[in-house]
Amino acid sequence: MEFKEIVAPSIRELFVQQIVGMILSGQLRPGDRLPTERELADEMKISKTAVHEGVRELHRLGFLDVTSRRGVSVADYAQTGTLDTLLAIMHYHGGQLDAKTCRSILKVRYYLEGPAFLDLAACHTGEDLEKLEDLYRQAEEASKEGVYPFANALFRYHRTVAFLSGNSITPLILNAFSPVSLEFWREYIEVFGAASCLERLRGFTDHIRRGEGEAAVDLFREGLAEFERRTARTGFMRMD
**What is this structure's pTM?**
0.71
Q: Could you tell me if 126 and 37 lie in one domain?
A: no
Q: Does residue 90 fall inside a structural domain?
A: no
> pLDDT truncated to tens, each residue of the chain (240 aa)?
566 666 678 999 999 999 999 998 899 999 999 999 999 999 999 999 999 999 999 999 999 999 877 789 999 988 888 878 887 887 777 666 666 777 787 888 899 999 999 999 999 999 999 999 999 999 999 999 999 999 999 999 999 999 999 988 988 888 887 877 888 888 889 989 999 999 999 999 999 999 999 999 999 999 999 988 887 755 445 444
- Whether 24 is in a domain gets the answer yes
Q: Note whether 35 and 101 are same-domain residues.
A: no
The last residue of one of the domains, among 29, 61, 85, is 85
What pLDDT is stored for residue 233 in this prediction? 59
Q: Supply the pLDDT for residue 85.
A: 86
> From residue 27, how far is each of 22, 74, 101, 159 by CA, in Å?
5, 11, 20, 39
Containing structural domain, residue 213: 95-238
Number of domains in the chain: 2
Residue 112 shares a structural domain with residue 225: yes
Is position 3 within any domain? Answer: no
Q: What is the CATH number of the domain that holds 80?
A: 1.10.10.10
Task: Decide which of 54, 85, 116 is a domain's last residue.
Answer: 85
| End residue of a domain, out of 66, 85, 104 | 85
Q: Give alpha helix (H) positions in the chain.
A: 11-24, 37-44, 48-60, 77-80, 83-92, 99-122, 126-143, 147-164, 170-176, 178-192, 194-209, 213-231
Q: Is 5 part of any domain?
A: no
Same-domain status, 99 and 172: yes
> Is the same domain home to 154 and 211?
yes
My answer on whether 116 and 50 are in the same domain is: no
72 and 137 housed in the same domain: no
Quickly list DSSP for 203-223: HHHHHHHTT-HHHHHHHHHHH
pLDDT score recorded for residue 239: 43
Q: Are residues 107 and 48 in the same domain?
A: no
